[in-house]
Amino acid sequence: MIILSIETSCDETAVSFVEAVGEFPNAKYEILGNALYSQIEIHREYGGVFPTLAKREHIATIVPMLEAATAEAGLKQDKPAPLSAEVVSKLHEVLAREHGLADQLVSYHNSYGLPPVNAITVTSGPGLEPALWVGVNFAKALGMLWDVPVVPVDHMEGHILAAAFDGHHLKPVTFPALSLLVSGGHTELILMRAWGEYEKIGATRDDAVGEAFDKVARLIGLPYPGGPEVSRLARVAREAKLPPFADLPTPMLKSDDFDFSFSGLKTAVRYAIGNRVLSDTDKQALARDFEDVVVKVLVTKVKKAIETLSVDTLIVGGGVAANTRLRDSLLTLATPQSYPDLSVYLPSPDLSTDNSIMIALAGHSRLNEGLSPESLTTLRADGNKSL
Ligand code: KG4
Ligand code: ZN
């Protein structure tokens, strides 16, 4: 089957065509076409993602992304028949709040036609609601236009699937498995008893870890998104063996649960800076001190969960899974000296941050929850959706 997949939960507009042969979780996947537009440059000016601006950008770029993915997949049809006035008016109704999008979709259809798609998967949450709605309403419109079911997908489940994906197959997962989800909005430890069965055993009580990276980056004077920037400076500090800049706390390291807290750490960074004007080496050392503490806390809680719950598979998902220090530290857990039976699955760097491939994979696991074109009116975006 061919899946059209859409992701617009934050500042990436992503559309892809993925072919799945066989049943989940043993299917073979082929990425036929994949287009992604990052709005980072636009939001950088504001130091974070601005929801209404994100919505506007999704509206402006989702059809170009669909066109690019269709062309890459070689799914453009010859001489499509133009849409009837009745269908055009229906599309305008569904996309009433996405100003200008219905017209773009009509012109896409009139030159690309109807690709042989069997299902549409779309992120329905969590995320920024105005941004999510663009993808959700666009998926609705396509579902009606193409007469195919639409599968709403949880963004975080997508991050889990991305980590277990080897490019064509899902890696073998033994259950119960542990999943560490670390992104701009989430820091969670999830116990998975099977695919699709999730139990949250711990979470941040305040800031998410990606958010902490972004806020500390701002304190140091680095651009948004801060994670990669902080990480880059930290690496320089390690190579130069710079002495510590700050003695930062390790929040909730020894707490009797699987929870996290990162807002105090950010405040500690602010106090450590005080009124000082930071030199380049100060910034590097501070970035390294911060990253060390974050990784130490995450790894300690992961180890505790591995031991308490006797898991043999660790899945790490979300944008912060791109962090080299965290990746290396988690990979060394799966060594004969630590946990010899453990498999650690990390997403490839391009699938660590938001993308639509992961939404196709998660959607494929939930095809039975697909909404028929007739029942699409019940499809909603939910910014606070939880696994
Ligand atoms: O999953 P994601 O792309 O979007 C959300 O769903 O939130 O995650 C984005 C977050 C941002 O906070 C960004 O700073 C962080 O992931 N991030 C990183 C790295 N790359 C992205 N944090 C630390 N180190 C990185 N290399
Ligand atoms: Zn994400």
Nearest to 360 by CA among 32, 12, 10, 11: 32
H helix count then E strand count, the chain:
13, 10
- pLDDT value, residue 165: 98
Q: Which residues contact 291 (CB under 8 A, 6 or more apart)?
A: 230, 231, 234, 323, 325
Q: Which residues line ligand 1 (CB under 6 A)?
A: 10, 183-185, 210, 213-214, 225-228, 231, 318-320, 322-323, 353-354
- pLDDT value, residue 176: 97
Mean pLDDT by 10 residues, the chain (387 residues): 98 98 98 97 89 97 98 93 95 97 97 96 98 98 97 98 98 97 97 97 98 96 94 98 97 96 97 97 98 98 97 97 97 95 96 97 96 95 95
- pLDDT value, residue 363: 98
Nearest to 203 by CA among 130, 305, 101: 305
DSSP 3-state helix, strand, coil percentages of the chain (rounded to 5)?
Answer: 45, 20, 35
Q: How far is the CA of 319 from the centre of ligand 2 (A)?
A: 6
- pLDDT value, residue 48: 86
Nearest to 139 by CA among 97, 107, 95: 95
Q: Using DSSP bridges, classify how beta strands 197-203 and 187-194 pair: parallel, antiparallel or unpaired.
A: antiparallel
Q: How far is the CA of 89 from the centre of ligand 2 (A)?
A: 34
Kindly give the interhelix angle for 129-146 and 51-73, rounded to the nearest 10 degrees: 40
Any bridge partners for residue 122, and if so which?
A: 6, 152
Q: Using DSSP bridges, classify how beta strands 343-345 and 313-317 pair: parallel, antiparallel or unpaired.
A: parallel
Q: Using DSSP bridges, classify how beta strands 2-7 and 119-125 pair: parallel, antiparallel or unpaired.
A: parallel
Secondary structure element (H or E) that encloses residue 99, with its range: none
Q: How far is the CA of 353 from the centre of ligand 2 (A)?
A: 6
Q: Which residues contact 284 (CB under 8 A, 6 or more apart)?
A: 233, 234, 236, 237, 240, 242
Sign (positive or negative) of CA dihedral 123, 383, 68, 138 = positive
Nearest to 33 by CA among 59, 56, 65: 65
- Cβ-in-10-Å burial (0-12, 13-18, 19+) of 99 comes to exposed
| Measured distance CA(332)–CA(15) in Å, rounded | 35
For residue 132, what are the CA distances in angstroms to 45, 161, 257, 266, 349?
A: 22, 20, 33, 29, 24
Q: Is the Cβ–Cβ distance between 220 and 291 less than 8 Å?
A: no
Q: How far is the CA of 226 from the centre of ligand 2 (A)?
A: 15
Pocket-testing residue among 11, 186, 204, 320, ligand 1, by greatest number of atoms within 8 A of Cβ: 320
Q: How far is the CA of 229 from the centre of ligand 1 (A)?
A: 11
Task: Report residue 172 as tokens.
Answer: 């073998």
| Measured distance CA(98)–CA(121) in Å, rounded | 19
- pLDDT value, residue 47: 85
- pLDDT value, residue 80: 87
| Measured distance CA(112)–CA(3) in Å, rounded | 17
For residue 371, what are the CA distances in angstroms to 50, 56, 149?
A: 30, 27, 5
Pocket-testing residue among 12, 39, 157, 183, ligand 1, by greatest number of atoms within 8 A of Cβ: 183
| Measured distance CA(213)–CA(215) in Å, rounded | 6
**pLDDT tens across 228-281, in order?**
999 999 999 999 999 999 999 999 999 999 999 999 999 999 999 999 999 999
